A and B are shown apart, each in its own frame.
Chain A
């Protein structure tokens, strides 16, 4: 088979001389015609730079230092920008990460697709064909729409339609589902898979997600700090990774199966090397548990380790025959497993919590005397948080989970219901809570970059809550500060740095330390690890978990990532359109009977194991607007297990499961078990081709 894309010795740098950041070094790879090739790496690995280099879209500061990029028999680097136009037009297409930013806000979707097509005749029909082919139900309406009128999933379908217009030889997808909900991601991946099967287009799929790559690709390459460290068929790579970094990445990803074992994840020790100060030997050596002197001194070559796999490691033979274990050391856990005093005490109780955001009435509504409407962001939520336990709250964007977090913290006062903190009624508005209450409730935000003052040192950031909230003496403050840093595994010298001088994971740990400084009884984590790379995420999750064992706080842990929640939470609550649909202990929620929405969420999680294919339960369409929620069961418009009129007309009853879980559904539990038994157990059945 001839190669669709062949990259030889590609090196890219920003800047020149001593300070040059060499972000890609000597990368070789080859994508066969019709092959789906996954390129995984963490941020800073150079994977997007590689995609842009192939597209000849590196920004002005980047320089290709050497190498060749061939599309078919064509040397792309030899072409002038003007000569690239014909390649872009038909042969090579990119689907970028952020669809809404990648579409012109002022031009109708149909015109944006149409202008890329050759020839004026029948252009409109061809646009509609393309939109239908990417699974958009009403192509005529979509073509007439502006990008902002479409949902995120529809926008990404439009981008794919745009890419299909030229019948390309190679399609590059650069993190195309990263900003999408998991159920939307699943449908986009289905689409990509179908298109590849149907048309035999070669695909370069760039992603940070091992799960997505495992589920989609034929071959996978792993990039680390600008070098390709391993490249193999997908089954080989996931079953027997040869490079210690690949092994470490796989171990760092939480999966649904690690659920509630509370086994610590294995983060990768150390930090990413700086591209201007690379180690002279193997670039992974400083973090490698099996590094030798040779590893530190001599850069290993990319060796053939089998007919179809390559690896850049001196010791791959020992790893391959099992005599060497390249796993990262398991982190020693701070506390013992015995429950802290007061375990099980109720810290926070929410009863019938509601939050409505009024919609501004237009003049016409006022004239027509239409009643004021409101978005029901949170609808009658009952939750109980207890000491030393973590409640994971999951749901997709628009489910109201972040609003609920702000309601608990008091940033958004509830419109109804009541809250009790340690048995004492809690004011809804943060302005009406006194200091002792504020101290007891702390929050860790999603983005530590924005939550930490960039002009303050870590010491100043941590000292303030220690002084104000914990009211300790000066000496006490110094000691507590040191202890705090240690508890989030930062070194004492970190105290004098500013947030800008820290890595993303270190910043988030400072944010966690800041929240713990006040010795809170309840911590709210709102997507606090979502922005982090897997290896860093694992270490932050371990810190979070150990601190709970030590301090006995209750956690409300909010995330869209089911696997992360499963790895940390004792209990899970599932939210849809502002309402809870299922609650219970983690193991019970992750096993049948499921609420049909939970079932769809679990089915949509891409498992980082190519042998595991979950039966595809896919949700139709987009979530309805919370300003006009469906009658009866809020999920009935998309429910794959829709029963009939009863779902439309009546609110579902709460069914009590055997394992302490509660499900809001009209379908009886034993019927749910019968329907779902075949789908997945606590461990999903391993079936090589269960998909339709």
Chain B
């Protein structure tokens, strides 16, 4: 088990180094002259020169990369071109917002998707299975800006249960933000729901066919115990991995949802950075997204190992 841990951790580090190099290459080295991209076609030669010096573009690429990576690791993420502010507090505030939204989404999406998937699998081929499967597919087919707007119309305007905009104050705590989080979280849930539910359904069905389920049934124990202890214990393992991948997407990929609800998350900040050609900000956000993805996968791997004795006691 300790060997497994060490190996997983090693993989994590390698992943981070490789992706950071890729991010750096794509944003700073490949575009040719970053200074011109940032400042535009009409920029004066002196301004370009100043920016190049600022970014250290006159140094060899490897030196540039290492100093950028060193800065990122030690917490010096540079200054945003667009706002002139230090990047780290700017990004960290948004990370906090995105985490709140991600956790609320998962808290809604995962249990409901699992319930739907399990119910569909246990009644495979019956009407309720068809309703769940078709319904989930129909919802996942709609883009977020459609479902988001429908939800706003319904829950914010018609019923007036929830606020339509989710532009929370920077210093808002979770409880204060909660009412404004619900609508974007529901919208993101609708994206994830079908995906997780169908995976759960498939893996429960696969488990039900395995001989050990028959063994359990032939012990004469209650059907409920067969389902919960034996079938679900094994069938929900793959779901762990899917939840981890979803978490990574929720942290940095909610660009549409955040825009629809005007939510100050990381995705919205990334669109802002791209709009303004704010290269250091883009780099910082993408790195954070990568770290979130990698950590979520690490947690999933560890959880998987913990839940599966065949890995735990290899």
Q: Interface on A for B, CB 8 Å cutoff? A: 55, 57, 84-90, 93-94, 96, 98, 101-107, 112, 115-116, 146, 148-149, 159, 162, 166, 362-364
Enumerate chain A residues within 8 angstroms of B222, measured Cβ to Cβ: 85
Enumerate chain B residues within 8 angstroms of A86, measured Cβ to Cβ: 220
Chain B positions 1-56 with a Cβ under 8 Å from a chain A Cβ: 2-3, 6-7
Does B103 lie at the interface of the complex (its beta carbon under 8 Å from any beta carbon of A)?
no
Contact of A88 with B220 at beta-carbon distance under 8 Å, contacts A106-B309, A363-B6 already known: yes
* Contact residues of B: prevailing secondary structure: helix
Q: Nearest Cβ distance between residue B238 and chain A, in whole angstroms?
A: 13
| A105→B308 contact, CB < 8 A | yes
Select which of B216, B218, B221 is within 8 A of A94 by beta carbon.
B218
Q: Nearest Cβ distance between residue B310 and chain A, in whole angstroms?
A: 5
| B220→A89 contact, CB < 8 A | yes
Most buried by B among A84, A88, A102: A102
Select which of B218, B219, B221, B234 is within 8 A of A106 by beta carbon.
B234
Contact of A362 with B3 at beta-carbon distance under 8 Å, contacts A57-B214, A146-B310 already known: yes
| A87→B220 contact, CB < 8 A | yes
Chain B positions 214-240 with a Cβ under 8 Å from a chain A Cβ: 214-222, 225, 229-230, 233-234
The contact sample of 26 A-B pairs, CB cut-off 8 A, is: A57-B218, A85-B220, A85-B222, A88-B217, A88-B218, A88-B220, A93-B218, A94-B218, A98-B211, A101-B210, A102-B211, A102-B215, A103-B215, A105-B234, A105-B308, A107-B233, A112-B215, A115-B221, A116-B221, A146-B309, A146-B313, A148-B313, A162-B215, A362-B3, A363-B3, A363-B6
Enumerate chain B residues within 8 angstroms of A362, measured Cβ to Cβ: 2-3, 6
Q: Nearest Cβ distance between residue A158 and chain B, in whole angstroms?
A: 11
| A104→B218 contact, CB < 8 A | no
Q: Nearest Cβ distance between residue A503 and chain B, in whole angstroms?
A: 26
Does B174 lie at the interface of the complex (its beta carbon under 8 Å from any beta carbon of A)?
no
Closest residue of chain B to A163 (Cβ to Cβ) is B218
| B6→A103 contact, CB < 8 A | no
Does B272 lie at the interface of the complex (its beta carbon under 8 Å from any beta carbon of A)?
no
Enumerate chain B residues within 8 angstroms of A166, measured Cβ to Cβ: 220
| A115→B211 contact, CB < 8 A | no
Does B157 lie at the interface of the complex (its beta carbon under 8 Å from any beta carbon of A)?
no
A103 to B230, CA, bound (A): 10
Enumerate chain B residues within 8 angstroms of A93, measured Cβ to Cβ: 218
| A88→B6 contact, CB < 8 A | no
A102 to B220, CA, bound (A): 15
A89 to B2, CA, bound (A): 41
Enumerate chain B residues within 8 angstroms of A106, measured Cβ to Cβ: 233-234, 307-309
A89 to B229, CA, bound (A): 18
A98 to B214, CA, bound (A): 12
**Interface size grouping (class) on chain B:** 20 to 34
Does B161 lie at the interface of the complex (its beta carbon under 8 Å from any beta carbon of A)?
no
Chain B positions 194-228 with a Cβ under 8 Å from a chain A Cβ: 210-212, 214-222, 225
| B220→A116 contact, CB < 8 A | yes
Q: Nearest Cβ distance between residue B42 and chain A, in whole angstroms?
A: 57
Enumerate chain A residues within 8 angstroms of B229, measured Cβ to Cβ: 107, 115
Enumerate chain A residues within 8 angstroms of B218, measured Cβ to Cβ: 55, 57, 88, 93-94
Enumerate chain B residues within 8 angstroms of A57, measured Cβ to Cβ: 214, 217-218
| B220→A90 contact, CB < 8 A | yes
A562 to B202, CA, bound (A): 43
Select which of B3, B220, B221, B309 is within 8 A of A364 by beta carbon.
B3
Chain A to chain B: the 5 pairs with minimum beta-carbon distance, closest first? A89-B220, A362-B3, A116-B219, A88-B220, A363-B6
A362 to B314, CA, bound (A): 13
A105 to B234, CA, bound (A): 8
Enumerate chain A residues within 8 angstroms of B219, measured Cβ to Cβ: 88-89, 115-116, 162
Q: Nearest Cβ distance between residue A373 and chain B, in whole angstroms?
A: 14
Closest residue of chain B to A52 (Cβ to Cβ) is B214
Enumerate chain B residues within 8 angstroms of A55, measured Cβ to Cβ: 218
Enumerate chain A residues within 8 angstroms of B217, measured Cβ to Cβ: 57, 88
Q: Nearest Cβ distance between residue A114 and chain B, in whole angstroms?
A: 10
A146 to B311, CA, bound (A): 11
Q: Nearest Cβ distance between residue B313 and chain A, in whole angstroms?
A: 6
Enumerate chain B residues within 8 angstroms of A104, measured Cβ to Cβ: 212, 215-216, 230, 233-234
Enumerate chain A residues within 8 angstroms of B211, measured Cβ to Cβ: 96, 98, 101-102
Select which of A84, A115, A159 is within 8 A of B225 by beta carbon.
A115
| A105→B3 contact, CB < 8 A | no
| B309→A105 contact, CB < 8 A | yes
A213 to B271, CA, bound (A): 74
Contact of A148 with B212 at beta-carbon distance under 8 Å, contacts A116-B219, A363-B2 already known: no
Q: Nearest Cβ distance between residue A92 and chain B, in whole angstroms?
A: 8
Contact of A102 with B214 at beta-carbon distance under 8 Å, contacts A363-B2, A363-B6 already known: yes
Q: Nearest Cβ distance between residue A615 and chain B, in whole angstroms?
A: 36
Enumerate chain A residues within 8 angstroms of B220, measured Cβ to Cβ: 84-90, 116, 166
Q: Nearest Cβ distance between residue A533 and chain B, in whole angstroms?
A: 22
Closest residue of chain A to B307 (Cβ to Cβ) is A106
Q: Nearest Cβ distance between residue B9 and chain A, in whole angstroms?
A: 10
A84 to B214, CA, bound (A): 13
Enumerate chain B residues within 8 angstroms of A96, measured Cβ to Cβ: 211, 214-215
A105 to B231, CA, bound (A): 11
Enumerate chain A residues within 8 angstroms of B310, measured Cβ to Cβ: 105, 146, 148
A55 to B313, CA, bound (A): 34
Q: Nearest Cβ distance between residue A173 and chain B, in whole angstroms?
A: 13
A93 to B219, CA, bound (A): 8
Q: Nearest Cβ distance between residue B74 and chain A, in whole angstroms?
A: 27
Q: Nearest Cβ distance between residue A578 and chain B, in whole angstroms?
A: 23
Enumerate chain B residues within 8 angstroms of A115, measured Cβ to Cβ: 219, 221, 225, 229
Q: Nearest Cβ distance between residue A368 and chain B, in whole angstroms?
A: 12
Q: Nearest Cβ distance between residue B93 and chain A, in whole angstroms?
A: 38
A597 to B98, CA, bound (A): 67
Q: Nearest Cβ distance between residue A360 and chain B, in whole angstroms?
A: 8
Q: Nearest Cβ distance between residue A109 and chain B, in whole angstroms?
A: 11
Closest residue of chain A to B220 (Cβ to Cβ) is A89
Most buried by A among B210, B218, B221, B225: B218
Enumerate chain A residues within 8 angstroms of B309, measured Cβ to Cβ: 105-106, 146, 148
A146 to B309, CA, bound (A): 7
Q: Nearest Cβ distance between residue A176 and chain B, in whole angstroms?
A: 13
Enumerate chain A residues within 8 angstroms of B215, measured Cβ to Cβ: 96, 102-104, 112, 159, 162
Q: Nearest Cβ distance between residue A131 and chain B, in whole angstroms?
A: 16
Q: Nearest Cβ distance between residue B189 and chain A, in whole angstroms?
A: 29
A136 to B6, CA, bound (A): 35
